[in-house]
Amino acid sequence: MFLLVSCTKREENSITKTNFLLDTLIQITAYGENADKAIDSAFDRISEIHNKMNVNDENSEVSKINKLAGRGYQRVSGDTLYVIKKGLFYSALSKGRFDITIGPLVKLWGIGTDKARLPDKKEIENVISLINYKDVIINEDKNEVMLKKENMSIDLGAIAKGYAADEVIRILKENGIKSAVADLGGNIYVLGSKPNGKPWRIGIQDPFKSRGSTFAAIEVKDKTLVTSGTYERFFIKNGKRYHHILDVKTGYPVENGLVSVTIIGDSSIDCDALSTTVFVLGLQEGMKLIESLKGYDAIFVTQDKKVYVTSGIKNYYNFNITNEEFKMDNLR
């Protein structure tokens, strides 16, 4: 098991455990007699997913696919195949604006690592030519995946945490847990309601401040919330900020006035993919996409601290802005 941090906190009838997996800090709180065992099982499952899908581990299934790019198929587990197929679904839905073959571009920029840098235009043009989700070939009968061109690479960083969150909740339920919160580095999934029967009140990250600062709150039961924003990973070069959400069309970080998008729904893998997809699409197109999908809602924040929400946010959740610097607005 890959563990850098391990912490356990006990309170009456509940237990909280923290670990570092999937390149992020993960915290799970569960209530009930079986909470300790249930959380351990959930972390074992996250570790399994991490080991299969971590692009930075040369022995992961994703890395093995990438090594064989342009040369042959790699057999993978049902987990990895499922997540790749979900990624391809959202790649197609967004007409390639979300693309799981973004690997070469992510590696070139290195944002979030000690190798972050501003590439030159020629380097960017060279790797953009390798990005095309239609060049991922799947052999369903043998659970095999192949990339059509050499030097292509898959990166599941925009979707794997969502899958892990779904699996955490499944395992907690199987262990008899009826009330829990899982926080996978900003991917939050609440199981049931609070032990007192009231909905969970979840703070929405302030995209202009460090993690843990909020600008709004929302009340939910049995829902997952996933936020993508410019505050997560970035570097500053010559006074300009370069964040990690990259546009596969330009090869540069997305610049469309948005600073964060939060998606709310029942499936964390879908919300994870949608948060990146909608961020890249921008406010107008992103709002239109979410309004067309049943069971999903979104909260958009722009650079000028205006907040836009889909109709479901207004109708079904007790959403309120807690920081007066932010103002609600509507698309016209």
* pLDDT of 42 strictly over 90: yes
- At 10 the pLDDT is 58
Report the candidate in 282, 184, 278, 264 with the shortest Cα–Cα distance to residue 224: 264
Cβ count within 10 A of residue 325: 9
Same domain (yes/no): 275, 176: no
Q: Which domain holds residue 243?
A: 199-332
Same domain (yes/no): 1, 112: no
* pLDDT of 6 strictly over 60: no
- Whether 233 is in a domain gets the answer yes
Same domain (yes/no): 118, 254: no
CATH number at residue 290: 3.10.520.10
Residues 6+ apart with CB under 8 A from 4: 19, 20
Q: In the chain, what percentage of residues exceed pLDDT 70? A: 96
Burial class from Cβ neighbours inside 10 Å (0-12, 13-18, 19+) for residue 93 reads middle
- The pTM (predicted TM-score) of the whole model is 0.93
- Whether 152 is in a domain gets the answer no
Same domain (yes/no): 211, 318: yes
Same domain (yes/no): 183, 50: yes
- At 301 the pLDDT is 97
Same domain (yes/no): 79, 141: yes
Q: Are 138 and 84 in contact (CB under 8 A)?
A: yes
Residues 6+ apart with CB under 8 A from 324: none
For the record, the structure tokens of 312 come out as: 């479901």
CATH number at residue 139: 1.10.3980.10
Residue 68 or 11, more confident: 68
Mean pLDDT of 42-71: 97
* pLDDT of 101 strictly over 90: yes
Q: Are 124 and 105 in contact (CB under 8 A)?
A: yes
Question: What long-range pairs does 69-73 form, CB within 8 A, spacing at least 24?
Answer: 69/146, 69/147, 69/149, 69/150, 69/151, 69/152, 69/153, 70/147, 70/148, 70/149, 70/150, 70/151, 70/152, 71/150, 72/146, 73/137, 73/139, 73/142, 73/144, 73/145, 73/146
How many residues are listed for the chain in this entry?
Answer: 332
Same domain (yes/no): 240, 298: yes
- At 1 the pLDDT is 25
Report the candidate in 157, 195, 164 with the shortest Cα–Cα distance to residue 42: 164
- At 9 the pLDDT is 60
- At 11 the pLDDT is 55
CA dihedral 117, 90, 81, 112 (to 10 degrees): 20
- At 7 the pLDDT is 52
* pLDDT of 181 strictly over 70: yes
Same domain (yes/no): 32, 98: no
Q: How many angstroms separate the CA atoms of 201 and 190, rounded?
A: 10
Q: Which residue has the tokens 């009930």?
A: 32
pLDDT digits (tens, 9 = 90+) for 265-324: 999 999 999 999 999 999 999 999 999 999 999 999 999 999 999 999 977 788 999 999
Cβ count within 10 A of residue 78: 8
- At 231 the pLDDT is 85
Overall domain count for the chain: 3
- At 3 the pLDDT is 30
